Chain A
Amino acid sequence: MGSLGRIVQHPIATGMTVAVIAVALALPLFLNVLLQNTRAATAGWNQAFELSVYLAKKASSERAESLATQLRSRPDVAQVRVISADQALAEFRSSSGFGKALDALEANPLPQTLIVTPTVAASTPEGTQALKARIAALADVDTVELDTEWVQRLNALLDLVRRVVWLTGGLLGLSVVLVVGNTIRLDILNRRAEIEVMKLVGATDTFARRPFLYSGVWYGLGGGLGAILVVAVAIGVLAKPIEHLTALYGGQFQLRGLRFGTAALILVGSVALGWLGSWIAATRHIRDVEPT
């Protein structure tokens, strides 16, 4: 009788083991899916880096134009938009509702402003930082603001979350090895008499171990499939509410499911973990079974 036949003969015990593995693997897998989605959703934001360059009060609009021309010639700059102090004031007047108050001012308090968009290639956090430093060093430039520092913070946070996912995955992967190992250990205890008989007629430890390794592989495969099922169901349950939520914020976002590659990787990984757990347990415990 094959090891598969044997493990389906004990559906409850086998089901429990497979379920424990499935849950242990589903958690990091699900976190991974959420992380992938967050990355996908925020990927576009990296491109939105813009530098606001505020010139010194004394700088004229001609000076602003000449600075703009100078910046446009840089290889890491895609576009420069000039907002003159007058334009800025007019815009502020119309959008802020402080029109009357602004009339009371003698002079325009706003500086000449350049909006600098880096090229896509230079839109990395490092690239924009370098550009910011160079622009800040130019004459007549008062301050340069990178509006998107929070994107860097988000990226740092996502990086941290990614590490947490890996760490969780590692710990839960270890727990899969332990669960399979323990199941195989009990299995060997239950079949001690059979292993003794096999050894009495000349079976090597390697031979006696083989069916248990197959069992470990089956447990791993079952658990991996279970984990994929759990995550698929979770995504199915969450997809609608997330779409609804983003629609309420005026956004459009579609939750992406498990990719085929990730699913295949999980199956390979869970089979490998099942094999490893059974190998450790079977190698150790079969050696201890000696006929008496």
Chain B
Amino acid sequence: MIHFDQVHKRYPNGREALAGVSFRIEAGELAFLTGHSGAGKSSILKLIALIERPTRGQVFINNQNTSAVKPRGIPQFRRSLGVVFQDHKLLYDRPVADNVALPLIVAGVARREIEKRMRAALDQVGLLGKERSRPLELSTGEQQRVGIARAIVGKPMLLIADEPTGNLDPDLALEIMRLFKRFNDVGVTVLIATHDLHVIDRFVARRIVLEGGRVIAEEAPVEEAPVEAATRSSGAARPAQL
């Protein structure tokens, strides 16, 4: 699903964010990108979302070489991804419903279909009933869940998140991570950049560790991740109960 091949990224200010990064993430996988801030996590996500382009090397998403995507093709490309941001990037002057529906509106989906899918997405993050609320009336955790609903409303095959738990206390962070895990359980490939090691210790997932713009370790899933393995086997924990 994601394949980085000897990717370098140097920003116009001369900073070299990535220095020959290679890794693969298979379809249906859940993986964490970890490392200190400045290690290159955000750069990797920006390259996936075509916010930035590699200076050297190639990035393949769903077997498509992203260097072949022309500027005109970027909107269409982004519609196939779900992206979650640390600062949510919501439209604060619009109600929750509009925020969640935005990817469908810009893609020109029929109005009735939008309404249905917007509610389904809100239901999946446990915010059904908050359609008319303004983002600022919600807690930070709820705002992040609005961001997640927006990311998944277009039914993407790939979901990427940049420090989605960065501003949350540990309990809320765990809730958000469980939410990502649930999407992964239904087949969505999920890549999460985070330095929140306490939280991800509880998930069975591969970790790609970055330092100074290089991959310094790839840690295979730890099979006995006690807490979350239990949650998983118990089946569908509804988000409202999280």
Contact = CB atoms under 8 A, between A and B. Distances in A.
Interface of A: 1, 193-194, 196-204, 207, 290-292
Nearest to B153: A201
B89 A197 contact: yes
B51 A291 contact: yes
A207 B106 contact: yes
A221 B66 CA distance: 44
Interface string B103-119: 10011000000000000
Given A197-B89, A290-B51, A291-B51, A202 B94 contact: no
What 6 pairs between A and B have smallest CB-CB spacing?
A: A202-B79, A203-B106, A201-B103, A202-B78, A204-B75, A202-B75
Contacts of B103: 201-202
Interface residues of B, number: 19
Contact of A202 (B51, B89, B106): B106
Contacts of A193: 89
A194 B83 CA distance: 16
Contact of B91 (A194, A199, A207, A291): A194
Contact of A200 (B76, B83, B93, B107): B83
A198 B107 CA distance: 11
A197 B103 CA distance: 10
A1 B51 contact: no
Contacts of A196: 89
A291 B93 CA distance: 19
29 contacts: A1-B93, A194-B91, A196-B89, A197-B89, A197-B91, A197-B102, A198-B102, A198-B106, A199-B75, A200-B49, A200-B51, A200-B78, A200-B83, A200-B89, A201-B79, A201-B83, A201-B102, A201-B103, A202-B75, A202-B76, A202-B79, A202-B103, A202-B107, A203-B75, A203-B106, A204-B106, A207-B75, A207-B106, A290-B51
Contacts of B41: none
Looking at A193, A196, A204, the one whose CB has the most chain B CB atoms below 10 A away is A204
Contacts of B90: 197
A1 B150 CA distance: 18
A218 B94 CA distance: 22
Contacts of B77: 202
A203 B150 CA distance: 14
A198 B103 CA distance: 8
A59 B207 CA distance: 122
A201 B91 contact: no
A203 B51 CA distance: 13
Contact of B94 (A1, A199, A201): A1
Contacts of A201: 78-79, 83, 102-103, 106, 150, 154
Given A202-B77, A204-B106, A291-B51, 11 more contacts: A196-B89, A197-B89, A200-B49, A200-B83, A201-B78, A201-B103, A201-B150, A202-B106, A202-B107, A204-B75, A291-B49
Contacts of B102: 197-198, 201
